[in-house]
Structure 1
Amino acid sequence: MADADKKNPNEEELIDITQPDALEDVDDDTVAQINAAGMTSGDDEIETLRAERDDMRDRFMRALADAENSRKRSDRDRREAEQYGGSKLARDMLPVYDNLRRALDAATDEQRAKASALLEGVELTLRELLNVFGKHGIEPVVPEVGDAFDPQLHQAMFEAPLPETKAGDIIQVMTEGFLLHDRLLRPAQVGVSSNTG
């Protein structure tokens, strides 16, 4: 007889509960004990694993949301840097525009006749500066005398009563304003009517 077939009389025979007919010869109390022991520890373990899974899923979803928010923030920051990054340089270039405009406005007819080539060069320089501004999203805000004062685009430098005007009408334009895309780079400086009647 082989050693595997020999049974020790002092050993209890183990039941393989994975076999379909294994519990047929076992009494009901033993089956209840096996079920209680197996189910309690297994249920606890399953509940622990479910709790860990839910915790990990929650952490994963939060990390995913944080990553998405970071991506959106960096995209927005990149777009803003692209659009508005040159605002300091643009603001520094506005006095150059103002001075070229003043030079043209100050020239009399006699000076225009004598120095037409010089003034034409200044006009071309001013036009080229405006073209460069346009390429970079810088647009002039040019109010007209008689327009209504808009505090979003204009800066009132003085108020004066002027006949035949309404309160809040622009009566003089001192400097043009500029927008950089949709942001105000510099307000137009204007004089405003203070008529009350």
Structure 2
Amino acid sequence: MGEPEENEFLDDPESLLEEEYHDDPSDEEIEVDSLRAERDELKDRLLRALAETENLRKRAERDRRDAELYGGVRLARDLLSVHDNLGRALETIDDTLRTEHAALVEGLELTQRDLVAVFNKHKIEEISPEIGSKFDPKLHQAMFEAPIPDQPSGSIIQVMAKGFGIGDRLLRPAQVGVSSGGGQAAKSEPATDEPEE
């Protein structure tokens, strides 16, 4: 007689059980799948909550920095007129007034220096363009335009008031006069010798 036929299920009885489970899922498998889905959903919600919390933290930090830097913008704008008035007062003082009222003049100068020191402490910077530099509409305000033969068009010919900025914001633009170009506008129509009627 020959050798008995080998039964494939006798060598691997677990394969028979696996086939039965795959064909008809049990309650345990359904529960495991449901728990996995719930876990994945909770993990996704947790990651979203963590990302939102991080965004809120960054936004709060940025708002705190902005409030620290820009919180006094309105007060700073109001103090610019005080700075301008002190500067005008000091410009009008002549030598006789300086000798006769030295203490008063010194007090005005100290007050202006203190104001400038406070501006520097709060990162308020002066914008003082030089004559001949290029007009920048982001930093300057053109108060007038005049034809100047030696100056190219768009260059600053006079500084009427200094500007100020705080951080990357403009408090007040510098007020300037701007050249309109080569002086051709200065020529008028040729004069005639005819009398006016």
Distance 1:66 1:178, change over 3 A: same
Unaligned runs of 5+ in 2: 1-16, 184-197
Query: What SS is found at the alignment partner of 1:49?
Result: helix
Aligned to 1:75: 61
| Residue in structure 2 matched with residue 91 of structure 1 by the alignment | 77
Report the alpha carbon displacement of residue 92 of structure 1 after superposing the two structures with TM: 0.8
Structure with the greater alpha carbon radius of gyration:
1
TM-score under structure 2 normalisation? 0.77
Moved more, 135-144 or 33-42: 33-42
Would you say the 8 A contact 2:159–2:174 is kept in 1? yes
Name the CA distance, whole Å, in 2 between partners of 1:149 and 1:60: 54
What corresponds to 1:143 in structure 2? 129
Segments of structure 1 that go 5 or more residues without pairing to the other structure are: 1-30
Indicate the residue corresponding to 2:176 in structure 1.
190
Paired residue for 1:40, among 26, 29, 32?
Answer: 26
Please give the TM-score of this superposition, normalised by the length of structure 1. 0.77
- CA separation of 1:126/1:36 partners in 2, compared to 1, >3 Å: closer, same or farther? closer
RMSD: 2.4
CA distance in 1, matches of 2:45, 2:61: 24
SS of 2:160's partner is: strand
Identity of aligned residues (%): 56
Closer, same or farther in 2 for the Cα pair 1:41/1:119, shift >3 Å?
A: same
Q: Is the 8 A contact 2:151 2:182 kept in 1?
A: no
Is 1:49–2:35 an aligned residue pair?
yes
What's the CA shift for 1:185? 1.5
Deviation of the 1:104 alpha carbon: 1.2
Secondary structure of the 1:52 match is helix
State the partner residue of 2:106: 120
